[in-house]
Structure 1
Amino acid sequence: MIRLPKPIAPSEIAFDIDGVIADTMESFLNIARKEFGITHIKKDHITSYWLEDCISIPIHITHAIIDRLVKDPFGTALTPIEGAREALSTLIPHSSLTFVTARPDSGPITEWLHSILPEATRHRLNVIATGEHAKKVDVLKAIGVSYFVEDNLDTCDSLYREGINAIVFDQPWNRGHTPFLRVTSWKEIMEMIKFD
């Protein structure tokens, strides 16, 4: 893992949700298997952030599953990525947590976050839904975040150009060489954070 020149304070970092906190692609594949009989696709087959570019599922099925994941994280049995719940629970006493997502509505995913982090009071979780990836940069600049953990390389590139330190959360769809710091686990993220 690349080392940072200085540790990150809990208040300096924010997080994407899908692919970083929530194991959205695993839920996508579970729905594809159970409800549509699509069993030939595995998570490692998802080599592009844009699903239609890399997997052979009819586009209307892809859109239907994504729509359900966005609107109903509980009904789709969305689960956290390994280590995310524990790491975020460790951060809560030290700083409010900020999440910036390209989802169009923050309501359902905010409720899901509260369900996995029941110890967090409402004012300790700040969830901002931008509706599109390109708007994340302006939001993060406006709130003064220095580091952002993200799985979409296009967003990381936009952040990098605007002076925000992008940290890539390693996933099959973002592999390959990038100029960004890359982490493969929540344990690695927590090793970069300094607690007072």
Structure 2
Amino acid sequence: MARIAIDMDGVMADTTQQMIDWYTQRYGVEVDKATLYGLPEATGFPHDREVMRSFLFEPGFFRTKPVIKDSQEVIRALQDKHEVFIVSAAMEFPPSLGEKLEWLGEHFPFISWQNIVFCGSKSIVQADYMIDDHVKNLQPFKGQGLMFTAPHNVHVTDFRRVDTWQEVAGILL
């Protein structure tokens, strides 16, 4: 039985799609996800990065993110074979704490509160595997890092990459 740490934003919850949706609602301009590939997170929109980052502080942003395809089924299956923890560096955006907990309760009700970790730095995480979309979280990790593909990390080659939750299942189930 392995211990697996799973990031929320960009891995379970589709942050990029949420940015696109909120931008479209706010400014009436649709941005094609493909145009964001290879760009730093929250860039590639007609407005600057700070405008885009302001969404992260607005009520509802974290609560209404779309679920990434197949994450629910695969995480449930992982729990049957492994010790699974959801680990989110939520402290940067304190209003997100309650929203993230509510989001998990709605979309992943099978995950116990005892297996949810909200933290600042993920450098304290000890597990066999960490699935994350950010280099800054995988670099200090002592176990096997799995880089979940997101537009901002498509050029990263330092970690084993997983593009979908079905690929995660193929590795860990």
Pairs within 5 Å for 1:42-81: 42-46=32-36, 47-52=38-43, 54-68=44-58, 72-74=61-63, 77-81=64-68
Assess if the C-alpha contact under 8 Å between 2:4 and 2:129 holds in 1.
yes
Question: 1:103 and 1:45, CA in 2 relative to 1: closer, same or farther beyond 3 A?
Answer: farther
CA offsets, 1:156-192, max 9 Å, x none?
Answer: 2333xxx332110112211125131111111111122
Q: Which runs of 5+ in 1 are unaligned?
A: 1-8
With over 3 angstroms needed to count, the CA separation of the structure-2 counterparts of 1:191 and 1:92, relative to structure 1, is same
Percent sequence identity is 20
Give the secondary-structure state (helix, strand or coil) at the position aligned to 2:100: helix
Alignment partner for residue 108 of structure 2, among 99, 102, 117? Answer: 117
Counterpart in the other structure of 2:17: 26
Residue correspondences, number = 168
Greater Cα radius of gyration, structure 1 or 2: 1
Q: What is the letter of the counterpart of residue 118 of structure 2? A: I
Give the ranges of 4+ consecutive aligned residues of structure 1 lying more than 6 Å apart after TM superposition: none
C-alpha deviations, 1:29-69, integer Å up to 9, x for none?
A: 10100122232x222222234324x4431344313212127
Pairs within 5 Å for 1:93-172: 93-104=80-91, 105=94, 106-123=97-114, 125-130=115-120, 135-137=121-123, 139-140=124-125, 144-159=126-141, 163-172=142-151
Do the aligned residues in 1 keep the contact of 2:146 with 2:161 (CA within 8 Å)? yes
| C-alpha distance in structure 1 between counterparts of 2:76 and 2:149, whole Å | 21
Amino acid at match of 1:136: K
Q: 1:56 aligns to what SS in structure 2? A: coil
Q: CA RMSD in A?
A: 2.3
1:6 match: none
